[in-house]
Amino acid sequence: MVFVAVFLVALPSHGHVVPTESSGLTVPGLDQATALKISQAVVGQSISDFTLLDRAGQPVRLSQYLGKPLLVSFVYTGCFDVCPATTRALQNAVEASRSVFGTHQFNVLSIGFNQPADSPQALKAFARQYRIDQPNWEFLSPHASSVESLTRQFGFSYTATPAGFDHILQVTLLDGAGLIYRQIYGDSFGADGLAEPLKQLLSNTPVAQQLSLDGLLDRVRILCTVYDPKSGTYRLQYGLLIEVAGGVTFALAMAWFFLAEWRAQRLARRQPRQGLAPADKAHA
């Protein structure tokens, strides 16, 4: 389990809780240390297969989005400041990550926790208003009776205030099996903050699960990406890519050489026997 040494800062206008490196402020209604402790305590734990509603009002299960890394963010649609800004920041980070890792390598969920206000219709309008239409990004509405259990399993703390909600700003990253891999904090997401843990999960994906040529090429591309601090994005390291391609070519050449030698030796062993066969028959 990896613990992150951060503090939480309240934004008084909307009561959101934002982790940062230092803070002398207090959060009304939500204890900073407790919220962070709860968030980190669930790392490594699995999530139950909750049933939620998508933007069309159709029931879906969380397990439908597993099998690959999954990013989960909790929002409430009545917020007009931090939640939209955080969602836009997540959108930018997701787009940057997809440009490197591919479109279908991971899924993203935004879940409305303020029920019954965060209905499928409200989440649909929220996504449309902020022009979020990336593939594999869904907005889900849980049943009011499951919100407490759902947020507890994700380590998401919140409390109602006259201004809205105090809550910790986090994006939860799950692995393909549904285990919480990392909590990513804040109201902005650098390429290294989001893409690096994604790369860790994707690069450890067993090759056996990606038998197609496209899957293998995606895996090579993931392994050959490096973070560029100057641009704040990930890029392909072509030197490493050439080395990988050279290594693969050498391995294939050696395999072909040994196969050819084996076939030649096998043919040589067969030819003497075939030459003796007529004489043996005549003698008989």
Over the stretch 149-182, which tens digit does the pLDDT of each residue have? 999 999 999 988 887 888 888 999 999 999 999 9
Q: Mean pLDDT across the stretch 52-75?
A: 96
Q: Does 162 sit behind a cis peptide bond, omega within 30 degrees of 0 on the bond before it?
A: no
3-state secondary structure of 160: strand
Homologous superfamily of 7-236? Glutaredoxin (3.40.30.10)
Place of tokens 């390291």: 237
The yes-or-no verdict on residue 251 having pLDDT over 70 is no
More confidently predicted of 198 and 255: 198
> What is residue 10's predicted lDDT score, i.e. its pLDDT?
34
Q: Where are the domains of the chain?
A: 7-236, 239-284
Place of tokens 């849980």: 142
- Count each helix (H run) and each strand (E run) in the chain, helices first: 7, 13
Contact predicate 89/127, CB 8 Å: no
The yes-or-no verdict on residue 18 having pLDDT over 60 is no
The yes-or-no verdict on residue 34 having pLDDT over 80 is yes
What pTM value is reported for the model?
0.68
